Amino acid sequence: MNSTRFRTVAIYAALVCGGILIAFFLIELCVRIFFPQPSRFYVADPYIRTIHKANTSIIRKGEEYTARMTTNGQGFIGDEDFTIQKPPGVVRIAALGDSFTEGYVIDYTKVYPAVLEQKLNAAPRARYQVYNFGISSTGTAHQLLTYEHYIRAYHPDILVWQFFVGNDYADNLLFQPEGTPPAETRSRLYWRTREILSNNFEAPRFILHRLERLENVKHILADLSLVSRNLDHYDEEREYPFLYDIYTPPRARSNVFANEFKRTCQLAERLYAEAKADNVRFIALVVPTQEELFPEDWRNILSKNPSMQAKEWDLQQPRRSITDCLTENRIPMVDLYQIFVSVLANGGDRMYFMQDDHANLYGQELIAEALAERIVSSNDTQ
């Protein structure tokens, strides 16, 4: 190619690129003026896909709660920034989990990581620091990345990994659906570009929100991690919410969770192994579902979904699967089911909201008490 032709091609390429940029910014301007997008509490992240927006606060209200949520400069729950340098004599605890840890419907000062820090520091000469790395709607796959890319840098002494039986299997399934390429295979440039476009421009979000209304298109976008699959992704194939299929007995299981129990166990093993390699003490916190604790809650579910009434269900199967995994791999754990059952047997109050599947203030208090006792008295070894 001679120099004249090369210059011609270069000029045309520059004009095309310039035209695309001008069109993009014109669309961005139109969206900002005529279709302004709502502010977000959760934003894109190049390492773990989704994180909280840094230095922001919201108030979330429901019929049973009013919850303040505040994030620090690192995009995690709390009103003080996390520091790499650990004060002398302080035991640093990292709390990792989903909305139970984040405090989705609980004031951030009353969620169990905050209460745990208060309880541990109530003892004479005790010095504990609890960092809350909880992010709502995440499962073990997302939490493993959070440990690798964020928590590890803060050199915790103890890692508390919270697992909610009710939807963490599903969150793992939706984060990495069967048959899609592993997230790690995509380049860092891909995730950084996604972060920049999503967090700094409104036009891409505006366009994606409209494209994902088309189910087939949404499936493709979700495989590219440009949008998220919701928990109702598989519901169209059933007469009831697919989440309840976690209660299908193993011998009858032929649903989307067929391989998810094993895969979740493998993720738990990997998280534990990485913490152990870092000389971090590990405690798995297993949170049961309310329908496992309260028969009336399960009866209400059956009454709302008549097609479920003729099926066989094993309400302890999901929790038994993860606790068996932890036991077989000698992973230290706190099984809250046993603790909650004991509390109820002794006349204790309900520890879950009535219309929401999260622990209420009393439940968060019980979780903090159980962890504080384990942390102070346990002789677990890695």
Strands 158-164 and 49-52: unpaired
Q: Would 304 be classed as within a structural domain?
A: yes
Q: Would 44 be classed as within a structural domain?
A: no
What the block records as the tokens of 281 is 């003490």
Q: Would 62 be classed as within a structural domain?
A: no
Do both 311 and 372 map to the same domain? yes
Query: Long-range pairs for 111-115 at CB < 8 Å and ≥24 separation?
Result: 111/77, 111/364, 112/359, 112/364, 112/365, 112/367, 112/368, 112/371, 113/77, 113/160, 114/78, 115/364, 115/365, 115/367, 115/368
pLDDT score for 212:
84
Q: Would 262 be classed as within a structural domain?
A: yes
Count Cβ atoms below 10 Å from residue 39 Cβ, excluding itself. 8
Do both 29 and 81 map to the same domain? no
Q: Would 240 be classed as within a structural domain?
A: yes
Do both 145 and 282 map to the same domain? yes
Q: What is the pTM of this model?
A: 0.92
Do both 74 and 15 map to the same domain? no
pLDDT score for 348:
95
Q: Would 228 be classed as within a structural domain?
A: no
- Count structural domains, the chain: 2
Q: Would 207 be classed as within a structural domain?
A: no
Do both 10 and 88 map to the same domain? no
Do both 30 and 164 map to the same domain? no
pLDDT score for 108:
97
Please choose, from the candidates 329, 271, 285, the residue with its C-alpha nearest in 3D space to the C-alpha of residue 95. Answer: 285
pLDDT score for 230:
75
Q: What residue spans of the chain are helical by DSSP H? A: 3-34, 99-102, 112-120, 140-149, 168-175, 188-200, 203-211, 215-223, 260-277, 290-293, 295-304, 317-328, 336-345, 361-377
Do both 30 and 73 map to the same domain? no
Reported as half-sphere exposure (CB side, CA atoms, 13 A), residue 54 has a value of 8
Do both 88 and 154 map to the same domain? yes
pLDDT score for 55:
97
pLDDT score for 173:
86
Do both 8 and 126 map to the same domain? no
Q: Would 223 be classed as within a structural domain?
A: no
Query: Long-range pairs for 22-25 at CB < 8 Å and ≥24 separation?
Result: 24/203
pLDDT score for 180:
52
Listed as ranges, residues in the chain with pLDDT below 70 are: 1-2, 177-186, 236-237, 251-254, 378-382
Do both 3 and 84 map to the same domain? no
pLDDT score for 178:
54
Do both 28 and 72 map to the same domain? no
Phi, psi of 59 (to 5 degrees): -120, 120
pLDDT score for 381:
39
For residue 155, give the CATH number of its domain. 3.40.50.1110
- Spatial distance between the Cα atoms of 164 and 155, rounded to a whole number of angstroms: 25
In angstroms, the Cα distances linking 89 to 37, 86, 92, 266 are 46, 8, 10, 34
pLDDT score for 177:
62
Please choose, from the candidates 348, 353, 380, the residue with its C-alpha nearest in 3D space to the C-alpha of residue 366. Answer: 348
Domain that includes residue 130, residue range: 68-177+234-377
Do both 30 and 162 map to the same domain? no
pLDDT score for 12:
85
